[in-house]
Structure 1
Amino acid sequence: MLTFEQKKEIIGRFSELTEKSISMKRVNYHFEGSQFEKTIVVEKLHPNGNGFVYVGDLLAYNADDRGLVNIRDFSEQELIAVIEDAIMYLSEVDEPKAEVVIEESWRNASNDQLLLVEEDPYWNVYHAFNLEESFGTKEDAEAYLREEGFKKSK
């Protein structure tokens, strides 16, 4: 588990975030460029290492009903990815978008989630917004996911 100071250092790499102290030595990190009323990306980062990142309704994360995911046990890479995703989520302008249909959600024993999406002519595997792999057939994509230890979510 990353320490409070390590998490602060990682979050501090995001120049678009502003640190604001709150009660009990906790800190919030705001994204002033948010296209929504919600500006807090990292919420209630506590000296014990606990804290939350706002991911809204992003399917890649198991967020609570307020759109928050707990980052207490996140690795450096996971923390960076979730903050990048949160900033991207809050940066989106309400414009008509091409519809993306998620065909399947796959999870491994650690409850990590990958999404299998058909985007003609390819079958793409995503972790959050990041393209992991691309395949010509669904069968090849499914074989890859099984080899990596993932099973289709129910």
Structure 2
Amino acid sequence: MLSFEEKQAIIESFPQLSKKEISLNRVNYHFEDSLYEKTIVVEKLHPNGNGFVYVGDLLKYDSLSNDKGLVNIRDFDERALREIVQDAIDYLSEDLETPIEETWIGQDGVIIELRHDQRDWNIYFNNNLEESFGTREAAVSYLKEEGFKIKK
């Protein structure tokens, strides 16, 4: 487990975040450029190593987050902490009004759409939702396993 100081050093390596001390020797880290009302990325980081990162409704962290969209980072290693903090910053800086869409074609000519909607990567067939993934990598891996290729 990383120490409080190690976690602080990792979090403070993100220049987009600003540190704010709160009660009981805890600190929060804010992302002031958030496109949303929510600005706290790291919440209640405590000298005992406990703390939370806001991931909202990102599917990637669905099994780890509570009902407030927070993930406890007490036992995170450096790689995992860096990844979740970056994902949180990306989440709060993402413009949801501009969806990303890709057309994929199967070996049998079936055409499906991969869309980045509301922070999830969804696969549609005839405008019907077929699958949903937390990351583009997971969605693309699934499509390739099923024999699909991106239509150029």
Aligned to 1:101: 122
Structure 1 length normalisation: TM-score?
A: 0.69
How far did 1:93 drift? 1.8
2:21 and 2:71 mapped to 1: Cα distance?
20
Residues 134-153 of structure 1 aligned to structure 2 (within 5 Å): 136-138=144-146
- Letter in structure 1 aligned against 2:138: L
Q: Structure 1 CA distance, aligned partners of 2:138 and 2:33? A: 31
How far is 1:34 from its partner? 0.2
Within the candidate set 129, 135, 138, 1:116 is matched to 138
1:145 paired residue number: none
Show the counterpart of 1:81.
83
Q: Contact 1:53–1:71 at 8 Å: present in 2 too? A: yes
Deviation of the 1:115 alpha carbon: 6.7
Q: Is the 8 A contact 1:45 1:51 kept in 2?
A: yes
Which letter does structure 1 place at the counterpart of 2:15?
Answer: S
CA deviation after TM superposition for structure 1 residue 92, in Å: 1.1
Number of residue-to-residue matches in the alignment? 118
Q: Indicate the residue corresponding to 2:26 in structure 1.
A: 26
| Distance change >3 Å, CA 104–CA 39, structure 1 → 2 | closer
**Residue matched to 2:68:** 66
Normalised TM-score (structure 2): 0.70
Indicate if the aligned counterparts of 2:122 and 2:132 stay in contact, CA closer than 8 A.
Answer: no
Is 1:92 matched up with 2:94?
Answer: yes
**C-alpha separation in 2, matches of 1:16 and 1:116:** 27
Instruction: Please state whether the residue corresponding to 2:24 is helix, strand or coil.
Output: coil
Q: Deviations over 1:51-87 (max 9, x none)?
A: 0000000011121010100000000000000000000
- When Rg is computed on C-alpha atoms for both structures, the one with the higher figure is 2
Identity of aligned residues (%): 55
2:108 aligns to what?
Answer: none
Aligned partners of 1:9 and 1:29: how far apart in 2?
12
